[in-house]
Amino acid sequence: MAIFQRAGCMNNLPNKQDFEVSTQGLKMNRYRFILQNPKFSKWQIIMTRRKTRGQGVAELVGALVLLVPIVLTAIDLGILAIGAAINDSICRDAARAAASGPPSEFSLGDSRNLTPDKAPYQRALSVATKLYSTNFPAKIRNTLVAVETVRDIPPNSTGGAIDGDVAITTTIDIYPPFLVGAIMGGVSLSSSHKVPITYVMKSDG
């Protein structure tokens, strides 16, 4: 009896003519076509639903596999860009602070490297260490490069502005939290600014 039932089911399957649809019918998707054809069994409809859902899940997973690394890399690059801007701003402020006071020596000199015990170096370092108190994943190094040039010093009797400049170089270590950080670790960026000395000597008189 079961054999005849199976044979009856085979006769209910759609033949070749059932798939000859009009131009309007070709615009329908496969799932909609199956629902409108009475010769398709319930089992075939269920399998079509599962296949459609499985294909959608697979496409979603594939899109996420490609999209997530791109988003994480973009976040890391954004953090690097922000860190570079912060370092450039701090370097500029540090150079202005170093040039706002008296030079390390009241004597002419070209491109003198300043040591940490010199006043211009200490003024620049006090500004550069501002970033230590923030939660940004970066840190300004507590060692910087300071170079001083003094071209002319006015006499004490008249006083006046000192002709010279101070160049400061700061370095920031940035730690991106995602892919770039995992591959490269910390990224170091440097910035340099040269500012004219703005200190004005007072006259003795």
User: For residue 31, how many other CB atoms are within 10 A of its CB?
Assistant: 13
Interstrand relation of 109-113 and 187-196 (parallel, antiparallel or unpaired): unpaired
Interstrand relation of 109-113 and 145-152 (parallel, antiparallel or unpaired): antiparallel
**pLDDT over 80 (residue 49):** no
Specify whether the CB–CB gap between 103 and 197 falls below 8 A.
yes
Q: What percent of the chain has pLDDT over 90?
A: 52
Residue whose C-alpha is closest to residue 170's, from 92, 61, 60: 92
| Averaged pLDDT score across all residues of the chain | 80
pLDDT in tens, 59-87: 788 888 889 999 999 999 999 999 999 99
* pTM given for the model: 0.70
* Per-residue pLDDT, 53: 66
DSSP 78-125: HHHHHHHHHHHHHHHHHHHHHHTS--SSSS-EEEEEPPTTSHHHHHHH
